[in-house]
Amino acid sequence: MERRRPDGTAKQGCRMFLEIYTKVRISPKRHYNSLYEQIYEVVRQVPPGKVATYGQIAKIVGFCPPRMVGYAMAALPHGMEVPWQRVINHKGEVSTRSRGDGALRQRRLLRAEGIRFDRKGRINLKKVRWPGPNEPDSPSQNTPLSI
């Protein structure tokens, strides 16, 4: 089922996702696993003391909407070494969770990496946003925290 905007057009990311797994003729679950692995690989490149947004990760992966990055972070297997805490929303805020203390844990982990929050609970993206994998100050390896 394709989601549509109020103007009747389909969301581009969802349409592209549907086209990819139907052309390749693999199950959606298998494609999710492959896509999630690509997302995790990009997130592993975000160094300590830097953050990336859901949209930024989605753009680097190239064919998924930011929401899919959120789903991948929520589905992260326990103990997998992916620095999930370094992915935040476009406002520079930690996104709230429907249950559990994930947002509080994320905030604590980011503070432990030296990231500061303002009074509104936002991070200054101009100062700590990761420039991306192809930028000069991006290390190819870092030490992610396991969850």
C-alpha 28: how far from chain center:
20
Sorted by where each starts, the structural domains of the chain and their CATH numbers stand as 12-128 (1.10.10.10)
Closest by CA position to 91, among listed 55, 64, 116 = 55
For position 55, what pLDDT does the model report? Answer: 96
C-alpha 59: how far from chain center:
10
Residue carrying the six token digits 């500061």: 116
Q: How far apart are CA 55 and CA 45, in angstroms?
A: 15
One DSSP character per residue, 17-60 reads HHHHHHHHT--HHHHHHHHHHHHHHHHTTSPTT-BEEHHHHHHH
Phi and psi at residue 93, in whole multiples of 5°? -110, 155
Provide long-range contacts, Cβ within 8 A and 24+ apart, for 107-112. Answer: 109/85, 109/145, 110/51, 110/85, 110/86
Residue-wise pLDDT tens digits, 109-135: 999 999 999 999 999 999 999 999 887
> Do 53 and 90 touch, CB atoms closer than 8 A?
yes
Question: Average pLDDT in the 95-105 region?
Answer: 84
Coil, strand or helix: which one is 2?
A: coil
Residue-wise pLDDT tens digits, 4-27: 555 555 445 544 544 444 343 334
